[in-house]
Amino acid sequence: MKLKKTTYTINSLRHIPDMPERMRFAVLADFHGGDPDMVLDILRKDVPDAILITGDLINGYFPEGDGLIVEDRQNLLPFLESCAGIAPSFMSIGNHECLLCEEDLDVIRSAGITVLDNEWTKFTTGSGSVLIGGLTSAYAVSYRRFRDSLNDSLEEDMPYERYPFRRRPKDILKRPTISGWLDEFEKQEGYKILLSHHPEYWSLREPMLRNRKIDLVLSGHAHGGQWQFMGHGVLAPGQGFFPRFTHGVHYGPHGRLIVSRGLHNPFRCIPRLGNPCEVVYVNYLN
């Protein structure tokens, strides 16, 4: 499968004193355990200031044994270690990471990745800094609540259930996000970037990121709408048929949304049409 590089050049919609003159980010969405070599080739040829991973690194099936999910996916940790060796790397949690437990996240952290699990951090480079936040998929929040409730009810001598029942909870479709922390994030000084796996959080469902004072939201998840005709996708998870947010740049009153088509096709039996996989680069010019 081919992988192309798509570059968007943007500037700030407002004056920000501490903002570097220029920055360059690579956005990696929906790796889904795909081919790391093609992605790493692009990153090594055009080294960005930071690598921003917007979730769905894995395919979210239950593991066969009791081992950690992230160690079960053989190409995942070498890929993440390579990313971290190329540039400072940050990730948010997508729906396919819903099963991951804190031990999984610790292993990802030990590979050199800053995991942003409903939190933000300051990233300083060159002459200035930006704030990078990560909004965790509601699927992950829902599964954690399910796991916590089961573990809370265990007798003292019963072992902790890392991946309880080997199935998803019935209420996962309720899909609540934890978005209260965004209120504080919005108030921060400086340029704010939010990694939000789901582009539908922009304006189709809570937390309605379009209306928040966030300069740049980066998303994936829609896989470009799987088939593209006349510049429009056909079907995307979370948005249904004829989705609005499958790729490209979208504008709100305070900032922008950039959606990646993703690095890999997770639906191996359904080919993409007119919809190449991509590494997105964002060039920021102040």
For Fe ion, the binding residues (CB under 5 A) are 56, 94-95, 221
Rounded to a whole number of angstroms, the minimum distance from the CB of residue 144 to Fe ion is 17
Q: Which tokens belong to 86?
A: 């190329």
C-beta closer to Fe ion: residue 197 or 212: 197
C-beta closer to Fe ion: residue 92 or 95: 95
C-beta closer to Fe ion: residue 133 or 238: 238
C-beta closer to Fe ion: residue 221 or 250: 221
Task: For the chain, give the number of residues.
Answer: 286
Q: How many beta carbons lie within 10 A of that of residue 37, not counting itself?
A: 12
Question: How would you classify the pairing of strands 22-28 and 89-91?
Answer: unpaired
Angle between helices 76-86 and 36-45 (to 10 degrees): 0
- Please say whether the beta carbons of 71 and 77 come within 8 A: yes
Q: Please return the burial class of 10, using the count of CB atoms within 10 Å of its CB with bins 0-12, 13-18 and 19+.
A: middle
d(CA 65, CA 82): 27
DSSP at 160:
P
d(CA 7, CA 189): 27
Phi and psi torsions of 189, nearest 5°: -75, 160
C-beta closer to Fe ion: residue 95 or 260: 95
Residue 235: strand pairing partners: 241
d(CA 240, CA 36): 29
Q: Which of 25, 214, 23 is nearest to 128 (CA)?
A: 23
Q: How many beta carbons lie within 10 A of that of residue 237, not counting itself?
A: 14
C-beta closer to Fe ion: residue 59 or 127: 59
C-beta closer to Fe ion: residue 88 or 92: 92
